[in-house]
């Protein structure tokens, strides 16, 4: 799976916001196997509150590679590998919008680690990434709102989710992307029945 995270100038590409940084972490066999990260220059102004939140300044963006170059490299790095993000509804919009600017289109679906975590860890104080990292005692770089740090924490959360599914439901294989998408789409009351169906679906990928 390819875990991605964007830093951006705002909340929505529909409102003119653009990406300022992207990171991709590839997860396979319960470990991180590769990484890609780059700032990106989309030719837009970084608002002061965004700079204060992320530490990404207008000067950093101004000297970064062009957004089109970075997105092409990220898309080539990922290929057809299934995508995961924490709050995927946010990252998927920027992924699609930035890809469309270079006349490319996403070919695979997103799984959302936040939605899966809500099903598996409903007792967590919240399901924000930082809260889940602390609650589950996952590796924490101490850096937040930078793409690589957040992507790595999300990757560790995804691997923890895989272990949780195996242990809690007695699975004899590591759940894959299609299983995460199944879990994220069901209510808590239907989680057990959904997991039972996993045993009838041979893992792929």
Decide: 40 and 27 in contact? Cβ < 8 Å.
no
Listed by start position, the domains of the chain span: 2-198
User: CB count, 10 Å around CB of 37?
Assistant: 18
> Which tens digits make up the pLDDT trace of 37-77?
999 999 999 999 999 999 999 999 999 999 999 999 999 99
So what's the pLDDT on residue 172?
A: 86
Q: Which residues of the chain have pLDDT under 70?
A: 142, 200-205
pTM of this prediction?
0.93
- CATH fold, domain 2-198, is Nucleotidyltransferase; domain 5 (3.30.420)
Token output for 74: 């990220």
Measured torsion, CA atoms of residues 155, 157, 158, 163, in degrees rounded to the nearest 10:
130
């Amino acid at each position: 799976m390819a875990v991605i995270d964007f830093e951006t100038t705002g909340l929505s590409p529909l409102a003119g916001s653009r990406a300022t940084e992207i990171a991709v972490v590839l997860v396979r066999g319960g470990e991180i196997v590769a990484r890609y990260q780059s700032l990106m220059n989309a030719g837009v102004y970084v608002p002061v509150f965004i700079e204060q939140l992320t530490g990404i300044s207008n000067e950093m963006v101004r000297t970064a590679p062009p957004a089109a170059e970075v997105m092409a490299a990220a898309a080539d790095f990922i290929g057809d590998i299934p995508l995961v993000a924490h709050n995927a509804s946010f990252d998927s919009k920027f992924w699609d919008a930035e890809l469309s600017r270079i006349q490319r289109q996403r070919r695979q679906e997103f799984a959302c680690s936040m939605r899966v975590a809500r099903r598996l860890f409903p007792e967590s104080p919240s399901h924000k990434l930082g809260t889940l990292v602390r609650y589950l005692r996952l590796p924490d770089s101490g850096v937040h709102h930078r793409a690589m740090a957040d992507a790595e924490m999300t990757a560790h959360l995804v691997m923890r989710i895989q272990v949780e599914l195996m242990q809690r439901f007695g699975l004899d294989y590591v759940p894959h992307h299609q299983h995460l998408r199944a879990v994220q789409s069901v209510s808590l009351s239907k989680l057990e029945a959904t997991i039972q169906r996993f045993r009838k679906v041979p893992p792929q990928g």
